[in-house]
Structures are given as structure tokens and as C-alpha cells.
Structure 1
Amino acid sequence: MSVILQIETATTSCSIALAIDGNVLAFKQVNERNIHAEVITLFIDELINTAALTYNDLDAIAVSCGPGSYTGLRIGVSTAKGLCFALNKPLIAIETLEAMAYSIIGEKIISVDKDVLLCPMIDARRMEVYCALFNTDGLKVRATAADIIDEHSFNELLSNHMILFFGDGADKCEAVLGANNNAQFLPGFVNSATFLTQKAAEKFDKKEFEDVAYFEPYYLKDFIAGKKAL
């Protein structure tokens, strides 16, 4: 039996899940900006206690490793690494966009045709998003990138494929891309640690673990500090 603690903090959602043998036992999350540091350890404690487990009962820690919010990723990965060091448990890293795609493929939060391409999007700055493209078998068909979206984005692909855009980055792109009939949007998508479950279980079985000492989040871009209003 494998018990995996799963941490998702790459977006505005701070989400924690406990999974046993690839099935979610419990989860807790809040979708609110700049609250991750305040609630993450409380959520973890609450889930461990609710499940009548101890920290030593955990077999691994899985974390959504980016791309995404610089601060959110730093908090989530630091927490995961701290637990791994303290408990001597392995660390599993899962790319955030891949986990988002598996919410459609595995969790089936919405039914899609086999030929549809999936485009998870994470909000960056202004009209920039972190995104990638996956087919419904989970294969990445376009590499992860930081893209500035305009009315010409994805034109070639949209001429031949229906693309489902989802995530907090997709919300701001609908006005620009939505005129194309092949561009479909999933409103209200909230990232969740439960989306890590399938890939975390697969990686645990294959012992695909990270070097805890040297692992860093997949920031994709350098951190740019915002200016405070005077």
C-alpha cells in the first residue's frame, strides 16, 4: 500500500490531498491569492489527523513543480522538501500543466472527443500564459512555453483541430481566441492536488524520485518583482 501526500500551489489554489494506492482519500483546498504560506501546513496537519494517520505513515510526498506562480511554487516545493528531509521520504515532482491535462483525461471532469487537443493555461502577466498542448492519450504534442496570446495564436492548429483551453490563464484569453469555432473554453477551472494522483502513483511504482537536496521548481521564467503603488 502506498500513501502519498500531494501538494499543489502553482496557481491561486492552495490544495493538499492524501491518496492511497492511486485513490484520493481526502483533500482540502482554498482558491485565494497570497494565502498559501498561511494555510499549507494547517491543511496538511488537518488531513493527516482526519485520516487517523501519522506523518511516518506517508510513503512519499508529491508536489506540483511548475510552471506557475513563483511564490506559490517556492512555498509548495519548500514544504515538500522539508517534509522529505524530516521524514526521510522520497520526493515526486509532477509538471503542473501535465497534472491539469490529466484532470480531463483521468478525472474526466468534462467529456471530450478523442481528437480534441487539451491546452491547460496558467496566468502569467498581462496577456502572457504558461501553456502546453496534450492529446487525449496524455502525450504532450507541443512543448511547455510562456506565450503572449493574441488573435493569431494557435491559428494553424485551430484550422485543423478543436482545442479545449482551461485554467486561470484561459479565462483572460477567451475574448481573444473565442471567435474561432474550434476554440472551446472550460469556465471555472480550479487547480487541485487531486489532479496529481494518477501520475504520482505511476512515478511511485516506477521509483521515479527527485534528488531532494538539489531539486528546484520549474519556474520557466525568472522572477520579476512587482512595484508597490506609492
Structure 2
Amino acid sequence: MPCFKNKIRYKRPDKLSLHTILIMANILFIDTAAQHTHVAIGHRENGISELVNTDPNQQAASLNEMIARVCDTAQLSLKDIDAVAVDAGPGSYTGLRVGLGVAKGICFALDKPLMLFSKLALIADAKNTAGELLVVLKARTGEGFAMATQKETTLLPAQHIFYDTFDFHIYATGILLTDDSALLERFPEATILENHLLDMHSWNALAQKRWEEQAFDDLAYAEPFYLKAAFTTAAKNKL
């Protein structure tokens, strides 16, 4: 049986004006970039309902059911959703395709806008540090996906890197946040990224801002942020 972890949180803010509440949106969040599956709804009144499936690589099997369940919890239907936000990667190639495919299907069917977000940018934003921050996620041995920021300024756009040629010392005065044990051994002062569960409160704030600005992605041409080509091995011809 899938291992679902409910994380239901409702918060009715006292200091938000009625105008602020009315311009906020009901946003469906989909994150299938890592091994887990993470679905959430950000409500107009600043509450967040979340559902996480910790079973690895079950995105295709569990995503639609999880969306239905989180909608039930939030007492909303998909028609009540104003927009869909997707963690577009980098991450698992299969997971990214599953998540974006489902999101596109919902948007096409219900005429809803789509918003793509970089996983690296979401992690950096949630860290909320004043100084330089270099986020590196492991891709393969000796390779990673990196992005550097300082507050809201991007110092290094999200990209694929090779550790032996990348100059980590450029960001020596900042924080290195990584999930790669090899980098943690190389840079003992680095901060470990414990897991890939995104901070939905931080993501919701970013998505609500884009909703207010009407900054949406082109549904027809939206693609995952792979940052590198898939690694495949050619099959050997049988004699």
C-alpha cells in the first residue's frame, strides 16, 4: 500500500486585508522531481493542504489519486483551482514527465494557467539567507545541478556542472547547500540538504506573486528543466 503522509495546515491570517485575500488564488502544486510524490493546494485564505507519498518512484501510480485526495481535504474541486504550479526540475526524468504531463492535462481540460518553477530556485528561496548561497544537487558521480543566489539576485543560473572543472571557490564566502555526500566530504563546512521535500509555504508565496503578476508559462511549449540530456546506453546487437 502507498505510504501517504498527510500534512494538513490551515491558517486564517488576521493581518491580511479583504482585498489581499480576494486577489490570492487557489493553486495546485505538483512535485514529482524526486523519488517521492508531493501534492499541495494553497488556499485563498493562506492555508496549505499537503499530501506526500514517500514510496519511491510511484509518481505515475499515485499522482492522480493524491490530487483527488488533497482536493477533498481542501473541500475544493479541480474546477475551483485557479492555476497549477509544477516543480519542473532538475530531477528524475520520468518523474518530471509524469508531473508536467498531469499538470498540462488539467490545464488543457479546465482552461487553467500553468506556472513552472526551478527546483534549485525553490530550495534557495526557502533557505532565505542574506548572503551568497550555492545549491548543488547530485546528478551523477562527479556531476551536479547548481545555482547560486544572493537574496533575490541570481549569481549563477541553474546549470549542469562537473565538479572537477567547476570553481567552487568563487562562492567560498557563502553557504554551500548540497545533497551530495562527495561534496560534503570535500567541503566539511557545507550544509547538508536533508531531503528534497519542498517548503510549500515558501513556494506558495512565490506562486501567489506570479499569479498577481499573471506571469504564466506557455502551456503548449512548457518542458521540464532537465539541464542535461538523459544518459542512455545503446543496446548491443545480438549475434
* TM category, shorter: 0.7 to 0.9
Partner of residue 168 from structure 2, selected from 138, 142, 154: 154
Which residue type is aligned with residue 199 of structure 1? L
Partner of residue 72 from structure 1, selected from 89, 92, 95: 95
Distance in 1 (CA, whole Å) between partners of 2:121 and 2:224 is: 14
Alignment pair present for 1:185 and 2:184: no
Q: Which has the larger radius of gyration?
A: 2
Deviations 1:103-146 (A, max 9, x none): 112xxxxxx5x33x2222222111211110111x2221112121
Alignment pair present for 1:222 and 2:214: no
Query: 2:152 is paired with a residue of what secondary structure?
Result: coil
Q: Relative contact order (alpha carbons < 8 A, sep ≥ 6): 1 or 2 greater?
A: 1
TM-score when normalising by structure 1: 0.83
Alpha carbons of structure 1 residues 104 and 155: separation in structure 2 relative to 1, 3 Å: same
Q: Supply the RMSD in Å over aligned alpha carbons.
A: 2.3
Distance in 2 (CA, whole Å) between partners of 1:74 and 1:193 is: 22
Contact persistence 2:134–2:174 (CA under 8 A): no
Aligned match of 1:55: 78
Distance in 2 (CA, whole Å) between partners of 1:193 and 1:15 is: 11
Alpha carbons of structure 1 residues 224 and 41: separation in structure 2 relative to 1, 3 Å: same
Distance in 2 (CA, whole Å) between partners of 1:132 and 1:212 is: 25
Aligned match of 1:196: 203
Alignment pair present for 1:133 and 2:148: yes
Which residue type is aligned with residue 187 of structure 2? L
The count of corresponding residues between Structure 1 and Structure 2 is 211
Alpha carbons of structure 1 residues 44 and 215: separation in structure 2 relative to 1, 3 Å: same
Distance in 1 (CA, whole Å) between partners of 2:120 and 2:159 is: 11
Which residue type is aligned with residue 191 of structure 2? F
Deviations 1:66-101 (A, max 9, x none): 222211111111111011011111101111111111
Moved more, 143-152 or 59-68: 143-152
Structure 1: unaligned runs, 5 residues or longer:
106-111
Which residue type is aligned with residue 78 of structure 2? Y
- % of aligned pairs identical? 28
Contact persistence 1:8–1:193 (CA under 8 A): no
Query: 2:72 is paired with a residue of what secondary structure?
Result: helix
Distance in 2 (CA, whole Å) between partners of 1:192 and 1:22 is: 21
Alpha carbons of structure 1 residues 85 and 155: separation in structure 2 relative to 1, 3 Å: same
Alpha carbons of structure 1 residues 143 and 89: separation in structure 2 relative to 1, 3 Å: same
Deviations 1:169-223 (A, max 9, x none): x344201222xxxx32134133326142122111111111112112111111111
Aligned match of 2:58: 35
Query: 1:79 is paired with a residue of what secondary structure?
Result: helix
Contact persistence 1:17–1:24 (CA under 8 A): no
Alignment pair present for 1:44 and 2:59: no
Give runs of ≥4 in structure 1 deviating > 6 Å.
none
Alpha carbons of structure 1 residues 152 and 129: separation in structure 2 relative to 1, 3 Å: closer
Query: 2:41 is paired with a residue of what secondary structure?
Result: strand
Distance in 1 (CA, whole Å) between partners of 2:45 and 2:38 is: 17
